[in-house]
Structure 1
Amino acid sequence: MNDKELRLETKCYDAVDYGYLYGLNQKIPDEDFEKVKKYMKDFRRKDFADGIIKVTGRPEGYRCLEEDVPKVEEILGITNTLEKRQNKIKKAFENPDEKRKLKDQSLNWLITLFKRGGTRPQQELSRLVIHSTKIYDPEDGYKNGRKDGDGSLFIYTPHGMWYIINNSSKSGDKSINNVETIDGGAIGYRLMYDDNIDTLIRIYSEENEYSGDKLY
């Protein structure tokens, strides 16, 4: 028996056509799935403009658009709705203290998840940027601090989500860098796409996209 609460979660992000696509977090009886099937599409590689080149996550399978999420939730009697989860974050952001607390908690979770569960393959920042679907720069920290070796980025790519920590300052230990940058190097951790990690990144970064000088 599956005791996990039924909900719709993000399965992937498509930078070209669809934005976020949603799917159920667990298998449901066929008779229940038939009730919502008209709002779901069995996505395949051919359904995306560039194959899956500009998609982060798992695009293949039954997915629905964000606009159809409330319809699926209502039919299936889902109480932990996407709107409720989004409103909970919005409410916390209305209070400066609660906002800072939530952002700090999100960062702590991200550091733990990326460092404990992530991999550290050798990579070039330029390649990540060229193939990225989006790049978040929390509080413009990388944009404003890159020349001093400061700042971090969250880069979404077709092969996972990267947490990039600038480590290019003169006093930095370059031997631990695994990401080559034009500024002197960075530490990078990679995880496969996950709805919870995506949410934590969007909370901490406030979805602030990188807007600085070219990264390659």
Structure 2
Amino acid sequence: MVEKELRLETKCYDAIEYGYLYGLNQKIPDEEFEKVKQYMKDFRRKDFADGIIKVTGRPEGYRCLEEDVPKVEEILNITNTLEKRRQKIEKAFQNPDEKRKLQDQSFTWLQTLFTKGGTKPKQDISRLAVHSTKIYDPNNSYKDGKKDGKGTLFIYTPHGMWYIINNSSEGSNKSLNNVKTEDGGAIGYRLMYEDNVDMLIRIYTEENEYSGEKLY
């Protein structure tokens, strides 16, 4: 069995106060954890404004702030650091061909993860928007295509991450829709928060937040 590489990963996103909170991707010996415990807080519901209403992911447990990530990584001799992972993405984005390739790969993975591993509960996009912690709109596709029944969104909520595909254009098979919208409906897949899914979404969307008409 291949041993998993130790690293810090995002555990949740708090839209009000903390932003991203980080935790270890595996359990380590108590004596090792004691070395970094001063930088880790055992978060509970009471530690979040509005009682985790505006948090996507798993907020409860030992987490550290982004500013303390380098300290924890250094103490635990973590080589696959957050900064190295970011630099790798930034380097790819500097080359148009590499950027396009990375974004295409990310979208392919996202489609597979959401459509094969996600669920399709019935929902209303206005409810998702009201409770969202953030909404990404790749290339303003939903903002610009909403009236024509086109576009996609990635909506972060306290109950998971949603991949929304506008499916309200003329000729669309609306029987596939499980998300109610004012324009005729959309197809929505939900996954629970995971660090790798979050990163793929941020790469593909370039963290472009939705700026169109209110969804609620």
TM band (smaller chain): over 0.9
Where structure 2 has 5 or more consecutive residues not aligned to the other structure, the ranges are none
The equivalent residue for 1:66 is: 66
Determine the C-alpha separation between the residues in 1 that align with 2:214 and 2:40.
38
TM-fit CA distance, 1:2: 7.1
Provide the C-alpha distance between the structure 2 equivalents of 1:175 and 1:27, rounded to a whole number of angstroms.
45
* Secondary structure class of the residue paired with 1:10: strand
Which residue in the other structure is 1:149 paired with?
149
Alpha-carbon distance in 1 for matches of 2:181, 2:168: 8
In the other structure, the counterpart of 1:97 is 97
Q: CA deviation at 1:149?
A: 1.0
The one-letter code of the counterpart of 1:175 is S
Structure 2 CA distance, aligned partners of 1:201 and 1:64? 22
CA deviation after TM superposition for structure 1 residue 82, in Å: 0.1
Q: CA RMSD in A?
A: 0.8
SS at match of 1:99: helix
| Structure 1 counterpart SS, 2:190 | strand
SS of 1:213's equivalent? Answer: coil
Matches within 5 A, 1:44-123: 44-123=44-123
The equivalent of 2:33 in structure 1 is 33
Between the aligned partners of 1:129 and 1:208, the Cα distance in structure 2 is 16
Query: CA separation in 1, counterparts of 2:147 and 2:168?
Result: 8
TM-score (structure 2 length as normaliser) = 0.99
- State the distance in 2 between where 1:2 and 1:32 align: 21
Give the share of equivalent positions with the same residue, in percent.
81
- Paired residue for 1:186? 186
- Looking at structure 2, the residues matched to 11 and 159 of structure 1 have their Cα atoms a distance apart, in angstroms, of 14
> Can you give the 5+ residue segments of structure 1 that lack an aligned partner in the other structure?
none
CA distance in 2 between partners of 1:182 and 1:132 (Å): 18
Q: Quick one: distance in 2 between partners of 1:133 and 1:142?
A: 18
2:206 alignment partner in structure 1:
206
Three-state SS of the structure 1 residue aligned to 2:147 is: helix
Structure 2 Cα separation of the partners of residues 192 and 12 of structure 1 = 11
Matched residues, number:
216
| 2:33 aligned partner, one-letter code | F
Partner of 1:165: 165
Residue aligned with 2:31, SS: helix
TM-score, normalised relative to structure 1: 0.99
